[in-house]
Chain A
């Protein structure tokens, strides 16, 4: 797959814009999901995920072919999401909660397997709770926890994506795990 993506990037660099739509199609779910988990709502997630793909396209010439494209893309998406969180007005969350549609939105998009309706409800409650607890973490910790446990990157890959030393990734993941342990202990 990585090889096919490399070919597509070569074409994009030569000016073939259509080749880029294959790249977006291939990564759209991963990047959208990552932004959703970082930001906690569908509206901002769509904005930032789109922006990530646009920035990657505009700066494609500065992408080094020897590296993994996905690493670069995740870095752009993470930085944009953190930036967005920092720029939020303090009353942002209140607004989102009053409107109250985001949560439902999210679950209508989740792909579910067959379960009994009761189990389903309990599960949704729990998952919503977990999502909410993750989104309470400061962005620096949140990004690492999401990349490690929800998206299953290795610590080394996380260090590459965020461009921070492996030691720092480890310190932050320890703290993130401790913070979540306290929050999820009574679940």
Chain B
């Protein structure tokens, strides 16, 4: 029902068949190999994203989860134009943006903003908070008057709960939580439609996480923002997300509404992941152990990317890569076992 609703709504962001590989920077000599009696140049690369497609609708809070190195940050960087995809496309508000020249991308860049894990990295230590906040407003609104600028900055500071009287201070004079709220304020100054947040609260303490998460949720209600929210904290996902994409080795293995995913995880990897979250109450289901080690994204497994660690893998899994298929409750799962109905 929700999906048909979605079909009528205009998509805000469309990611299609995205691939991103980073060539390994070995010296030429290291790349040379003697194979079958001749010298070949063996170019290895890190396959960070291996065919990701997803749609986002206005008001979505789509959370991307998965273990370290599965490609979450790379997706965020490709979407926001910090990286060029190897192949595939990014369509924002019906306009393909990934292949536009940088100048033409500018109006779209204003409409999507990125928040990083480390607020140190995203704030310039030599700029006061006022300067930090004024810069993007000036940049995106050339010719704005000084009075209007000052007012805008103060409004934004107040909206993230940082005293506007402190606007002449430098980042190091603020606590980690305050700094992260300032970098969120910075992203909000240009009234974006989409916020791509890469682990925005992972570096913060629990009591500060709550403050920042509340702020992000308020901004979502008040400005009807759309979030692509990257995290490895599943409790945060359950709380914040409207939908969840679970990634493994650079691909989505399951994509579903948050409640559906947590109630009925389908993919064997999702099941294992959810079973591993430490919970406050002790009556969680037993931990499902995966076999083996996470393969490197340099030599991807054949067939299903999860096949080497899956307890249900069979011959088909080792040969053929499963596609992301929609089930009757709208969840999408890439798994032969689920499709063949042989996984609980």
Whether A and B are associated in the same complex: the answer reads: no
Q: Which residues of A approach B to under 8 Å, CB–CB? A: none
